[in-house]
Structure 1
């Protein structure tokens, strides 16, 4: 793990900062926008669903595009969409324009996260993959308390005569533009280059990492004589149908269930929190204060995940976090005092971010290079689809039955997800090739297409 690796991780974190900023923006702005645009019924549900429906489309399309044109090109697409949509939101004259713009933002966000996961998997060494992937998300999750504090400063004010909520959208768009220019210096993934037959380019990128490592004291192992006769075999491009055949089918199904159930457990806290607190009798200022204090748990939970993910198997970390989310979320739904609401909200955010980071890390390790962003995108799209559907049954449940019912449904979803994850594969500390050859019958189609764990381990450019 070199300084160059770390610099690229920081670049990824910068982009993700503004993606997370946007994802949590609605928690802070929902009450204000609801009053500003007189949102209710179908208009409220459409507004809440617009970003996540766009995210569904972005994850499906951009994820597949990234496996066809490369990770770097896909990044430019997602950031362009996000930047354009966010600045347009700041000038939106009516709710329908705002809904359309947030749909465009959703397409950008939906494509961004799967590509980020694939890129981190492609460049990080196995022994530190979990730690530095979690670090990228930890830096990004600093955006959550930033959203909270900005909402306290801006939401109910109008600097220079412009509504505070418009300023918050503008801040997000300027950050995205900055990220666009910074990310232009990212190299293409050498793993992806190799799968599409661009081995010379892959070697050039790998050589840059090697030179950085040598400058820090690393020395390459000698090349065995038997390897000098010809180039080592490389991973071939796999057809998409392999995601639905053994051994990948089980992984696809498990992660699909995890992504689909996740929003149900988190929705009441992330999108309905301000409404739930107002329903308990707290005014807008008090609600925003409680949420801001709760949001402080986001970077803390993400930071803790950095030191946990390499100490235990990913799936067991996920199981414990999901069970904790069920218990804490249920208690939060029925809490009445300010102290309990703030404490439980903080604890829920801590555990939820451990779960989120572990989910991303666990998924980015399970699929071969040529299908990695396709799998990530399709699976993440289920998260967007589930989030998009949530307003249409969670909002009526909230108004019809009460706050407690929303959190009870969420707890049940987390229990089911934890049960499914327990049947997942082991990934901690293993090379991507090792993970993708494990548990495969000898002579199976994918066994012939994906090299063994030690195929390239003895060459100078792994």
Structure 2
């Protein structure tokens, strides 16, 4: 099969979507689509937490620790196949069709797991559950990036990616309650699996009201339907905010297509970017082996070698989840300030060293339960940020048209090698009861992570603060030169939107101010000790973030111009209406429609630039000239 081109179209739909104020529609997108990471965190953690109870006498299912490792490997294999299958179908049939189908598959399979009485039933349902989760990644990431306004995309991605560990925490707490003496050994673990189905049903209700991605529609030859959807969203936002929408930015030219097959992605990767292909595989295999092996088998490891009862395992899983959440939160900004290569290589190599240390101490029987969990939490505090950089790297270093499917392809291959073998191998080692074999498993995990770190040092790409198009030129890039008739038509459209020469001059000045502000910020963030300051940078990473496309960097200039407009509104409100407290000022400028946290950010920046002054705590006025 070859790529089928449908023609060339020039459209302003992306600009219209990106310039919208934040409204209820966007909250529906976040709740309906972004919560998929909660499901993944819930699934991975809850299995690790209830695994030891399933192996006990009276659990109602005849499985041992080796079977638990096998079930985990089968789940990951299902996720790989689901990503490949539904990744193709998402590109061919649309985002909405697939994110409804994949969620439905997940719901049915995870609830059916609760009724398993034989190992084969458990294995089959875990495979289907994994397919649903893998398919979710392919459908959801593309839909989120295509529906959220550019100026809010970075913050929304941060919150959504971090919710993976919210799911992990829910799984740990839920398992703690369900594995208590209140429930029989054969009931508690079954209810734990049913929780995923309940959450999935609530998400399904929200998703029913979401539209197909207009970007997908016009790229795939359905421009008229895309226009109708965007018109409907705009009308809904106008009615909610009571404001007219600002004029959209410039239109773009794209070559419409039906689909790009996986073999085309592989050909592009092999011919144009062979070093990047090796890099992607090394990063994916390393993190997939270590993460899946330890996460899925941590409960049986604690139970079998440290005497932790099944009812207490969730406490330790909660500590594990907390370490994973804090790692990206603290180190996230350094990937954009210190740089990709030192941070990716560093997190991989440091986590490899810590994993090897665990192996040595295990082999010498020098670990207590407390010291073991301390080292595990520290290791994955570092590994959590590093593991996600595999997804980030692949999303950045390949052309735009192949990005989503490239992630599915590399995820499937890398995870099939590392993510399937890791849990299965660890499960067998734990079942043997031989601590030396378990130590060997940790040594293998350390080696896999070290190979990823070395590959980053040899083949890494300095992608920090670079536009995606500069890192990898799009395959379908069209020249931006317009014919005279098209330019004249565009100018007429601008005048119809009320853009006078003066307005265009103001827009040019705003772009220049935004450029200078962005330059100052980058200089400050990369200078001296500031670059090591904890907290999220322009991105936050999560092991659940399969498919993150890094579109925030592509729209950095648009976001800076939006910030400049917001600063203007704050300054003008203080000038024309006088001093006000924060809440009153937010009401005057309709700050609620800017998106979560944007009013506070604009107000802080206005104070820094001397366009507003905090006269007393929480109260602001116009500075004296």
TM-score normalised by the chain length of structure 1: 0.82
Identify the residue that residue 424 of structure 1 maps to in structure 2: 460
Partners in 2 of 1:182 and 1:356 — Cα distance? 31
Q: Do the aligned partners of 2:286 and 2:448 also contact (CA within 8 Å) in 1? A: yes
Q: Helix, strand or coil: the match of 2:111?
A: helix
- What SS does the aligned partner of 1:232 have? strand
By how many angstroms is 1:221 displaced?
A: 6.3
Note if 1:450 corresponds to 2:477. yes
Q: Kindly tell me: are residues 355 and 365 of structure 1, through their superposed partners in 2, closer, same or farther at Cα, counting changes over 3 Å?
A: same
Instruction: Give unmatched runs, 5+ long, in structure 2.
Output: 1-17, 483-489, 495-554, 556-625
1:7 to partner: Cα distance: 5.2
Structure 1 unmatched ranges of 5 or more: 439-445
Structure 1 counterpart of 2:326, from 291, 300, 314: 300
> Hey, what does 1:364 align to over in structure 2?
395
Q: Does 1:354 align with 2:403?
A: no
Determine which of 294, 297, 314 is the counterpart of 1:272.
297
Higher CA-based Rg = 2
Cα distance 1:425–1:195, how it changes in 2: closer, same or farther (>3 A)?
Answer: farther
Q: Which residue of 2 aligns with 1:404?
A: 439
User: Does the 8 Å CA contact 1:12/1:136 hold for their aligned counterparts?
Assistant: no
Aligned residue in 1 for 2:97: 73
Write the distance in 2 (CA, Å) between the matches of 1:436 and 1:453: 18
Distance in 2 separating the partners of 1:425 and 1:194:
32
User: After the TM superposition, which residues 85-124 of structure 1 pair with which residues of structure 2 at under 5 Å, given as runs?
Assistant: 85-123=109-147
> Is contact 1:193-1:201 (8 Å) kept?
yes
Residue in 1 aligned with 2:44?
A: 23
Question: What's the counterpart of residue 137 of structure 1?
Answer: 161
Deviations 1:261-310 (A, max 9, x none): 22222244212222332344333145443332222223333444654555
Q: How far is 1:185 from its partner?
A: 2.9
Paired with 1:197 and 1:215, the residues of 2 have a C-alpha distance of: 33
Deviates more, 1:20-29 or 1:182-191: 182-191
TM-score, normalization by structure 2: 0.63
Residue 330 of structure 1: how far off its partner (Å): 3.0
Query: What does residue 412 of structure 2 align with?
Result: 381
Count matched residues.
446
Q: Alpha carbons of 1:239 and 1:15: their partners in 2 closer, same or farther (altered >3 Å)?
A: closer
Q: How big is the alpha-carbon RMSD for the aligned residues of Structure 1 and Structure 2?
A: 3.6
Q: Counterparts of 2:242 and 2:283 in 1: how far apart (Å)? A: 42
Q: CA offset at residue 317 of structure 1? A: 3.4
Matching of residue 254 in structure 1 with residue 279 in structure 2:
yes
Partner residue in 2 for 1:323: 349
More displaced 10-residue stretch of structure 1: 124-133 or 134-143: 124-133
State the Cα deviation string for residues 13-63 of structure 1 (Å, max 9, x = none).
312211221122221111111223343486445323221222222111111
Cα pair 1:301 1:349 within 8 Å, conserved: yes
- Partner of 2:600 in structure 1? none
Deviation at 1:126, TM superposition (A): 6.8
What is the DSSP-based 3-state SS (H/G/I as helix, E as strand, rest coil) of the residue aligned with 2:441? helix
How has the CA–CA distance of structure 1 residues 44 and 287 changed in structure 2, closer, same or farther, with 3 Å as cutoff? closer
**CA gap 1:254/1:264 in 2 versus in 1, 3 angstroms:** same
Classify 1:354/1:274 alpha carbon distance in 2 versus 1 (closer, same or farther; 3 Å): same
- Aligned partner (choices 329, 341, 355) of residue 372 of structure 2: 341
- Structure 1 residues 218-261: Cα deviation after superposition (integer angstroms, max 9, x where no partner): 844676xxx8xxx8344655454432224355444432332222
In 1, Cα distance between equivalents of 2:480 and 2:49: 47
Q: Does the alignment pair 1:198 with 2:212?
A: no
Call closer, same or farther: CA 1:7–1:425 in 2, change over 3 Å. farther
